[in-house]
């Protein structure tokens, strides 16, 4: 699979080298497309997670990260947040979480679609 803007290693669970290759192909291609539309770098702070890593970082049971269907993208200012969010919506992401300095997106069709939520921390 060809990715223009990402390396699979950017999605590795910190406790499992090469696990970025376990990301869902459709998810990662959509994210790559969104990156091109936003025209700014996307720094992935969390991609694929092992069960152990998910527990360590306080991830939810059943997290989409465990299935390779989610990523958290870091941003540092409101303009970046706008560009990232707009691009994610344009390519069709319908599950988005807004954090203080990151945006979560996932492509988990086993969960509610058409939702945007905020994190309380």
Nearest to 84 by CA among 28, 27, 38: 38
Q: Which DSSP helix (H) or strand (E) runs through 83?
A: helix 78-91
Residue-wise pLDDT tens digits, 31-84: 999 999 999 999 999 999 999 999 999 999 999 999 999 999 999 999 999 999
What average pLDDT is seen over the chain? 96
Reported pTM:
0.95
Strand 115-118 relative to strand 95-98, pairing: parallel
Q: Is the pLDDT of residue 116 over 70?
A: yes
92 alpha-carbon distance from chain centroid: 13
What pLDDT score does 9 carry?
A: 97
Q: Is the pLDDT of residue 121 over 80?
A: no
27: helix, coil or strand? helix
CA R_g for the chain: 13
Q: Is the pLDDT of residue 21 over 90?
A: yes
Helices (H) and strands (E) in the chain, counts: 3, 5
| Residues 83 and 76: beta-carbon distance below 8 Å | no
């Amino acid at each position: 699979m060809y990715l223009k803007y990402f390396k699979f290693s950017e999605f590795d669970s910190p406790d499992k080298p090469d696990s970025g290759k376990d990301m869902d192909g459709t998810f990662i291609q959509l994210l790559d497309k969104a990156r091109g539309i936003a025209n700014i770098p996307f720094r992935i702070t969390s991609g694929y997670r092992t069960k152990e890593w998910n527990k360590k970082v306080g991830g939810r049971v059943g997290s989409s990260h465990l299935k390779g269907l989610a990523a958290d993208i870091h941003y540092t200012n409101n303009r970046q947040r706008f560009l990232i969010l707009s691009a994610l919506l344009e390519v069709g992401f319908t599950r988005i979480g807004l954090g203080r300095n990151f945006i979560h997106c996932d492509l988990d069709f086993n969960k509610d679609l058409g939702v945007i939520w905020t994190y309380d921390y």
